[in-house]
C-alpha cells in the first residue's frame, strides 16, 4: 500500500508542479502517471478477487470513464497555458 501511495503522491506533485510552471508536458506526464498508478492498484488489489471476465469488463468501464474524466481535468489545467506566438488550444 505504501508503494501505491508514494507513486500517486509523486504524480500529483508532478501535476501541481506543471500547473505552477505552466508546463504542459509535466501536466500530461503527471496525468498519465496517475492513471497508471490507479490501474496498477486496482489490478493488484481487486482483479484476482473477482472473476476474470467480470474483472475485464470492470477494467473496460474504468478505462472509458477514467480516461474521459482525466482528459477533462487535463484540458482544464492546461487551458490557460498560452505562450507567446503559440495558438490557443481549442476545447472541444
Query: Is residue 91 domain-resident?
Result: no
- The pLDDT of residue 15 is 87
- The pLDDT of residue 84 is 46
Query: Is residue 16 domain-resident?
Result: yes
- Per-residue pLDDT for 75 more than 70? yes
Q: Which domain holds residue 60?
A: 2-77
Mean pLDDT of the chain: 80
Q: What's the total number of domains in the chain?
A: 1
Query: Is residue 40 domain-resident?
Result: yes
- What lies within 8 Å, CB to CB, of 59 at 6+ separation is 39, 42, 43, 47
* Model pTM score: 0.59
Cα–Cα–Cα angle for 91, 65, 51, rounded to 5 degrees: 160
First to last CA, the chain: 37
The tens digit of pLDDT for each residue in 36-58 reads 888 888 777 777 777 777 878 88
The tens digit of pLDDT for each residue in 21-36 reads 877 888 889 889 998 8
Over its C-alpha atoms, the chain yields an Rg (Å, rounded) of: 16
Of 83 and 35, the structure prediction assigns the larger pLDDT to: 35
Of 69 and 85, the structure prediction assigns the larger pLDDT to: 69
Amino acid at each position: 500500500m505504501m508503494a501505491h501511495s508514494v507513486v500517486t503522491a509523486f504524480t500529483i506533485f508532478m501535476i501541481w508542479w506543471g500547473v505552477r510552471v505552466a508546463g504542459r508536458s509535466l501536466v500530461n506526464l503527471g496525468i498519465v502517471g496517475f492513471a497508471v498508478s490507479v490501474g496498477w492498484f486496482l489490478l493488484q488489489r481487486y482483479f484476482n478477487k473477482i472473476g476474470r471476465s467480470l474483472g475485464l469488463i470492470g477494467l473496460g468501464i474504468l478505462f472509458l470513464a477514467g480516461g474521459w474524466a482525466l482528459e477533462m481535468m487535463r484540458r482544464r489545467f492546461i487551458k490557460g497555458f498560452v505562450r507567446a506566438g503559440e495558438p490557443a488550444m481549442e476545447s472541444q
